[in-house]
Amino acid sequence: MEEDGLDDLLAQISEPTSPKKTKQDEQPGTSKSTSKTHCVLVNQKQRGNPLLKFIISVPWEYDEIIPDYEIGKTIGILFLSVRYYNLNPDYINNRLKDLGKKYDLRVLLVQVDLKDPHAALKNLTRICLLTDLTLMLAWSPEEAAKIIENYKIYENKPPDKIMEKIENDPHQKIVNALSSIKPVNKTDALTLIATFGTLENIIKATEKKLSECPGFGATKAKKLYRALHEPFLKNQMKPDVFAGNISIEDIESVENTAE
């Protein structure tokens, strides 16, 4: 991508393309109606896009909008495939000029349809960083449709609905801790708890005892035993290294030792 081309894009993106500002331009939304917030609005140019037949969890309809998909009044989504981007590298620049600064959340939904997409994705990531776009990747029309559906489903949901839930159940915490050790899965973790009863007994168990658990073998038992008994940090420092005031140099020394 040419540097000058991107500079021109950044220079123009803050202004709408239309020289006259109408009431409809002042608010994100359709050119015909600003009240169609119950469904996903789809640009007429998206007719024939395979992902449309997979949008089944939320209603959608065609309308005259600037982005390819519009969620409510605040989310605008541009759709692009890597293959199409390689054939038409200026396409996304022109779409962004049309989009201007509209919408609180602006999303570039990219379908990865090439075996080697790295160069294209690198350029697209750079564009997103410089133009305040959220980059979302999908590897099939089904995944792309699911992303659009989720934006609509969670449009008015509070953040805690999609935040990771913290488990307060001690039993579940042990399962999560054990299954974080490769190659132990959650079924293995439940087997260990059922066999040994407590985390303390699991830690005290010999490698041979661990290998006798259903679903375990010598290799898995060895890796689990090693993970439970090796120190997290090999301390090669003198015992009194932290006896006095701790400096930045001391912390960097600890980090370098750990690496």
DSSP 187-232: HHHHHHHHHHSSHHHHHHS-HHHHHTSTT--HHHHHHHHHHHHS-S
Q: Is residue 251 part of a domain?
A: no
Look up tokens 């789809």; give the residue.
Answer: 42
Same domain, 103 and 47: yes
Rounded CA-CA distance 191/167 in Å is 20
Q: Is residue 140 part of a domain?
A: yes
3-state DSSP assignment of residue 80: strand
Task: Give the domain extent around 200.
Answer: 170-229
Same domain, 144 and 74: yes
**pTM metric for this prediction:** 0.52
Same domain, 64 and 148: yes
Q: Provide the number of structural domains found in the chain.
A: 2
pLDDT of 139 > 80? The answer is yes
Same domain, 52 and 150: yes
Q: Is residue 103 part of a domain?
A: yes
Share of the chain above pLDDT 90, in %: 35
Same domain, 102 and 179: no
pLDDT for 11 equals 52
Same domain, 184 and 87: no
Q: Is residue 121 part of a domain?
A: yes
Q: Is residue 175 part of a domain?
A: yes
Same domain, 148 and 44: yes
Average pLDDT over residues 15-25: 41
pLDDT for 32 equals 45
Q: What residues contact residue 218 under an 8 Å CB cut-off, 6+ apart?
A: 211
Q: Is residue 109 part of a domain?
A: yes
Same domain, 184 and 141: no
Q: Is residue 106 part of a domain?
A: yes
Rounded CA-CA distance 79/42 in Å is 11
pLDDT of 200 > 60? The answer is yes
Q: Is residue 131 part of a domain?
A: yes
CATH number at residue 193: 1.10.150.20
Burial of 138 (0-12, 13-18, 19+ CB in 10 A): buried
pLDDT one-digit tens code per residue, 21-50: 444 444 444 444 445 778 899 999 999 999
Q: Decide which of 104, 125, 154 is a domain's last residue.
A: 154
